[in-house]
Chain A
Amino acid sequence: MSLARAIETGDLTALPSRRDEDWRWTDLRGLMRVLPPATPARLERIVVNPGETRAVDVRIGVADGYSQVTRVFVHVADGGCLALTEDYEGDGVSDTELTISVGVNSRLDRLVKTRSSDDAVCVSRAEVTLAAGAALRQTVLTAGAKRQRIETRVTHPGVGASVTLDGVYLLGDRRHADITTVVTHAGVDGSTSQLVKGVVRDQARGVFQGRIVVSPGADKTEARMGHHALVLSDRAEVDGKPELEIYADDVVCAHGNTVGALDEEALFYAMQRGIPDAEARAMLTEAFVGEVVDRIEAEAAREDARAWVAWQMGRGV
C-alpha cells in the first residue's frame, strides 16, 4: 500500500488512508478521487566509491496534471562521503522511494528541501541502512504542499554509527507537511539526535511522527529527540507523536515535545527597541528555527538552508 503502487497500477485503493495508523494525519485516499496520468518512472543511481567524496543534487518535480514515481538508489561505499541534496518542486503528484546504504566509516550528509506548489501531492520515503561507524546527517526543510510526507526509516547498527535527523517545517495557507522518522537501534553503542522545529500559520497543518526503537541488547544507546512548534493562528494545527520504545538497559534517552505561541515578552522587548511588530515576529520566528539550521555541520549546506529559511520567511534569498 503506497502512493507509488497507486500511481503504477491506477488502483486508488492502494493509497494510504486515515485508517492506517501510520498515515492517519496524512490521508491520501480521502484526498484523491482520481489519479492524474503517470509519466514513466524515473530511476537514479548514485554510487560513491570507497574513500571517494562527492556532492550530488537531485531535482524531483512533476508537472501539473501528471504523476510520477521516482526510485533513487544510493550507495556510499566504505570510507566514502556523500553530500546529497534533494529538491522537491512542481505541481503534480509524486512518490519518491530512496534506498540508501551507507558503508563502514562512511558518511552521508542529506539535505532535503521542498518548494512544492499549493496543488502538489508529494511523498518521499527513504530506507536507510547504516554500517558500523557510519554517519548520517539529515536535515529536512519543508514548506509543505497540498499534502506532503517526508519519511525516513533508518536501520541503525550501533557500533559507533551516529544519526542526526533534523527538520524544519514552515507552513502557511492550507498547506500540509508530515515529517515521519523511524530509527531502529539494533546494536550497542549507537547514537541518534533529532531536533525538528516547525511554524504553522493560517490553516496549515504540521505533523511530526518520530519513533526511536532501542532493540533488546542495544545497550549504551544515546538517543535524543526534540520536536517544538509555534502555532501562530487559531486555525493552524500541529500533530506531534514522539515515541521512544526502549527494550534495552543502560541507555541514555530523552525526548521533548512542545507546542506554543510566540514569546510575547521577547516580542515586546524587540518592539521597545524600535523593531516594528511584523519585523520582530519574523526575526523571532526565524531565530526559532535557526537553531536547527545551526546544527548543520557542512558549511555549504548550512548556508543553503539559511537561504531557504530566509526565502520562506518572505524576505528574499
Chain B
Amino acid sequence: MKPMLSIENLHVTVAGKPILDGLTLDIPKGEVHAVMGPNGAGKSTLSYALAGRPGYEVTAGSATLDGVDLLALEPNERAAKGVFLSFQYPTEIPGVPALTFVRTALNAQRKARAEGEISAPDFLRLVRAKSAALKMDFEMLKRPLNVGFSGGEKKRMEILQMAMLSPRLAILDETDSGLDIDALRIVSEGVNAMRGPERSMLVITHYQRLLDHIRPDRVHVLAMGRIVASGGPELAHALEAEGYDKYAREAA
C-alpha cells in the first residue's frame, strides 16, 4: 500500500539557493516520524515546501498525500486536504480574535470539502473542551490571535488549532523551541492525544528531548538537504550522544 505521505527526490530552492537536494521520505498511515538535523540542513524548508509557502520553489521531485499531488495545490487547498503545519514561530494576527480565526479556518476547510458549517454552539463546545485539555485560559481565545502571547501560549495555540482542524498530516516544526518543561509536557500530551490510525505526523526537531515525550515510530537524519540516515527511536539517542558532525561530513 502506498504510504500516506510520499516525498520523492524533492529539490527546493529559496531565493535561488538550493536547500533541499533530492529528499526522499515516506510516512505510512498512522505513523509518527521524526526528522532531526543540524541548523541549516533544510528542516524548516521541508515543512514550508509541504505547506506551500510562497518563495519556496520546488524545482524537481514530488510530494503526495493520500495519492494527491500536494505541490499543485494552493496552501489553503493543501490544508483542506489535511495538511497542518505547526509553525516554529507562529504569526501574530492583530485585530482577529483567536476564536474568530479558528472558526473561520474550520468553516473554510469544511466548505472546501463540501461539508456544512459547524454551528456556533457546537464550535464553542468543541473549542472549550480542546482548550481545557491544553490547560488554556478560555478568555485568552477572545484576544487577537497570538498578539502578546508568550512563546508557550503560542505553541499551545498551534496545538489547539491542530486539534480543532483534525488534520490527516500534522507537521510539527520545532514545536519544542521556547517551551519550558511543563509547557513541553502539556503540548506533547496534546500531540499524543491526536495520534491515531488515520493520522500521520512529521515531527521536526533539533533536540532529542521532544522525542522523550512524543515517541516516534521512525527517526530520519536530514543533512545537506537530504535524508542521510533512518532508523528506530534509538537513532535519536545516538544523535544526542554523538552529534550531527559525521552526517554533515558524509553528505558533503
Interface positions of A (Cβ within 8 A of B): 263-266, 268-277, 279-280, 283-284, 286-288, 290-291
Judged by a CB distance under 8 angstroms, whether B175 is at the interface is no
Judged by a CB distance under 8 angstroms, whether B51 is at the interface is yes
Q: Closest Cβ of chain B: how far from A296's Cβ, in Å?
A: 14
B102-134 interface with A by 8 A CB criterion? 102, 104-106, 108-109, 112
Judged by a CB distance under 8 angstroms, whether B53 is at the interface is yes
Of chain A, the residue at the smallest CB distance from B51 is A272
Judged by a CB distance under 8 angstroms, whether B16 is at the interface is no
Cβ B96 vs Cβ A274 within 8 A: no
**Can you offer 7 A-B residue contacts whose CB atoms are under 8 A?**
A265-B91, A273-B84, A274-B79, A274-B106, A276-B76, A276-B108, A288-B94
Cβ A272 vs Cβ B104 within 8 A: no
Most chain A CB within a 10 A radius of its CB, from B79, B92, B112, B144:
B79
Cβ B104 vs Cβ A268 within 8 A: no
**CA distance in complex: A264, B93 (Å):** 11
Q: A264-B54, A277-B74 are in contact. Are A272 and B95 (CB under 8 A)?
A: no
Cβ A274 vs Cβ B105 within 8 A: yes
Q: Closest Cβ of chain A: how far from B35's Cβ, in Å?
A: 19
| Across-interface contacts of A287 in B (CB, < 8 A) | 93-96, 144
| Across-interface contacts of A274 in B (CB, < 8 A) | 76, 79-80, 105-106, 108-109, 112, 165
Cβ A277 vs Cβ B104 within 8 A: no
Q: Closest Cβ of chain A: how far from B117's Cβ, in Å?
A: 13
Interface of A is mostly: helix
Cβ A269 vs Cβ B76 within 8 A: no
Of chain B, the residue at the smallest CB distance from A292 is B95
Cβ A288 vs Cβ B95 within 8 A: yes
Q: Closest Cβ of chain B: how far from A273's Cβ, in Å?
A: 4
Q: A269-B90, A291-B95 are in contact. Are A283 and B79 (CB under 8 A)?
A: no
Cβ A268 vs Cβ B54 within 8 A: yes
**CA distance in complex: A274, B53 (Å):** 13
**CA distance in complex: A133, B79 (Å):** 55
Cβ A275 vs Cβ B104 within 8 A: yes
Q: Closest Cβ of chain B: how far from A267's Cβ, in Å?
A: 9
- Pick from B90, B104, B112: contact of A283, CB under 8 Å: B104
Cβ B101 vs Cβ A273 within 8 A: yes
Of chain B, the residue at the smallest CB distance from A265 is B91
| Across-interface contacts of B161 in A (CB, < 8 A) | 273
Q: Closest Cβ of chain B: how far from A59's Cβ, in Å?
A: 30
| Across-interface contacts of B52 in A (CB, < 8 A) | 271-272
Q: A268-B75, A279-B108, A283-B104 are in contact. Are A273 and B93 (CB under 8 A)?
A: no
Q: A271-B75, A275-B108 are in contact. Are A266 and B91 (CB under 8 A)?
A: yes
| Across-interface contacts of B80 in A (CB, < 8 A) | 274
**CA distance in complex: A263, B147 (Å):** 14
Bin the interface of chain B by size: 20 to 34
B145-185 interface with A by 8 A CB criterion? 161, 165
B63-86 interface with A by 8 A CB criterion? 74-76, 78-80, 83-85
A263-B91, A286-B95 are known contacts; what are 9 more A-B pairs with Cβ within 8 Å? A265-B91, A268-B53, A273-B109, A274-B79, A274-B105, A274-B106, A276-B76, A283-B96, A288-B94
Of chain B, the residue at the smallest CB distance from A288 is B95
**CA distance in complex: A263, B54 (Å):** 13
**CA distance in complex: A264, B53 (Å):** 10
Judged by a CB distance under 8 angstroms, whether B207 is at the interface is no
Cβ A266 vs Cβ B93 within 8 A: yes
**CA distance in complex: A265, B91 (Å):** 7
- Pick from A269, A272, A276, A277: contact of B93, CB under 8 Å: A269
Cβ B91 vs Cβ A269 within 8 A: yes
**CA distance in complex: A276, B108 (Å):** 7
Cβ B91 vs Cβ A291 within 8 A: no
**CA distance in complex: A264, B78 (Å):** 18
Most chain B CB within a 10 A radius of its CB, from A263, A265, A271, A291:
A271
| Across-interface contacts of B144 in A (CB, < 8 A) | 287
Q: Closest Cβ of chain A: how far from B73's Cβ, in Å?
A: 11
| Across-interface contacts of A275 in B (CB, < 8 A) | 76, 104-105, 108
Q: Closest Cβ of chain A: how far from B142's Cβ, in Å?
A: 13
Q: A274-B108, A287-B93 are in contact. Are A269 and B74 (CB under 8 A)?
A: no
Of chain A, the residue at the smallest CB distance from B83 is A272
Q: A266-B93, A268-B54 are in contact. Are A273 and B165 (CB under 8 A)?
A: yes
**CA distance in complex: A271, B79 (Å):** 8
Judged by a CB distance under 8 angstroms, whether B87 is at the interface is yes
| Across-interface contacts of A264 in B (CB, < 8 A) | 54
| Across-interface contacts of A273 in B (CB, < 8 A) | 76, 79, 84, 101-102, 105, 108-109, 161, 165
**CA distance in complex: A273, B106 (Å):** 8
Q: Closest Cβ of chain A: how far from B54's Cβ, in Å?
A: 7
| Across-interface contacts of B101 in A (CB, < 8 A) | 270, 273
**CA distance in complex: A272, B245 (Å):** 34
Q: Closest Cβ of chain A: how far from B82's Cβ, in Å?
A: 10
**CA distance in complex: A276, B105 (Å):** 9
**CA distance in complex: A73, B92 (Å):** 45
